[in-house]
Structure 1
Amino acid sequence: MRQARRTSTRDIVNALLIRDGLVLLAKRSAGRKAYPGLWSFPGGHVEPGENLEAALARELREETGLTPTKYAFLRSIADPDKTTHERIVYHIYAITEWHGGEPVVVDDEHSEFRWFDPAQAIGLTDLALDDYRPLLQQIGDVAR
């Protein structure tokens, strides 16, 4: 008899920063376990007992040195991890205002940050998740 696999859920927050019609993408460091060398939105794991907005502020500060001041929830994307059988859920927020100036690489999770036109970002062949493309399209449509 086959047993059902138990799956756990890992919540991750992602920050989609928008400025002057451009979006910020982070290039994941080559040594990262998940999506090495690919472009993604800054973000990270939600700690036990932490709400999504607190995790968003913490992760953005840790990874970019920025503190979000105006943001809105966009959507959640489920992405099953084929190796661990975890259900990973990315909770994506649009951030339109922040303190801290320009983003800076402050840890080894990313090798660089770059501002992209949404149409250019959609066309990247090294985008971490294909599910980012509809969000980028949506942002591009609003920016026009």
Structure 2
Amino acid sequence: MRDIVNGLLLQRESILLAHRSPARSSYPDTWSFPGGHVEDGETLQEALVRELDEEIGVLPTSWRQLDSFTYNSGKANFHFFAVDHWQGKLTNLGDEHSELRWVNLGVAHEMPKLTFPIYTDIFAALFQS
């Protein structure tokens, strides 16, 4: 089973969403979060730090684990982390995402083409906290 981390960057009442490039083999042309696969020997937290650095050029300095869910008949576990503080300039690096966008938590559930329906539950929980 693969573990996948997702960094949910929060700023004021907004969350950072990443549009997955249409050329991606997994979940193309959908809105998700920066993150990726946990490598052998890595903790979830180490993978979070590495993935956010590789994909958006930031080093998370404060985060908390939120929910996790299993997808694809138990083939993948997705782990979500709310990231409250980071260092570095937010930059879309590489070709995994075609766009990064700050979206108000109150309307994030209305984004078209969210990668997974469970995102709406996560947005609601973050909005109420």
TM-score by length of structure 1 reads 0.86
Aligned partner letter, 1:136: F
RMSD of aligned Cα (Å): 1.1
What residue number does 2:106 align with?
119
Q: CA deviation at 1:36?
A: 0.6
| Residue 87 (1) aligns with residue 75 (2) | yes
Q: CA deviation at 1:13?
A: 0.3
How many angstroms apart in 2 are the aligned matches of 1:16 and 1:113? Answer: 12
| Residue 47 (1) aligns with residue 39 (2) | yes
Render the CA deviation track for 1:83-104: whole Å, top value 9, x for unaligned.
xx66111110000000003x21
| Residue 16 (1) aligns with residue 16 (2) | no
Render the CA deviation track for 1:8-55: whole Å, top value 9, x for unaligned.
x11000000000110000000010011111100110000011110000
How many angstroms apart in 2 are the aligned matches of 1:112 and 1:104? Answer: 10
How many angstroms apart in 2 are the aligned matches of 1:105 and 1:43? Answer: 12
How many angstroms apart in 2 are the aligned matches of 1:50 and 1:56? Answer: 10
Unaligned runs of 5+ in 1: 1-8
Please identify the structure whose Cα radius of gyration is greater: 1
Q: CA deviation at 1:135?
A: 0.7
Q: CA deviation at 1:112?
A: 0.8
| Residue 105 (1) aligns with residue 105 (2) | no
What residue number does 1:68 align with?
60
Aligned partner letter, 1:77: F
Unaligned runs of 5+ in 2: none
Q: CA deviation at 1:119?
A: 2.4
Number of equivalenced pairs = 129
Q: CA deviation at 1:62?
A: 0.3
Render the CA deviation track for 1:117-139: whole Å, top value 9, x for unaligned.
11221012210011111111111
Aligned partner letter, 2:97: H
| Residue 96 (1) aligns with residue 84 (2) | yes
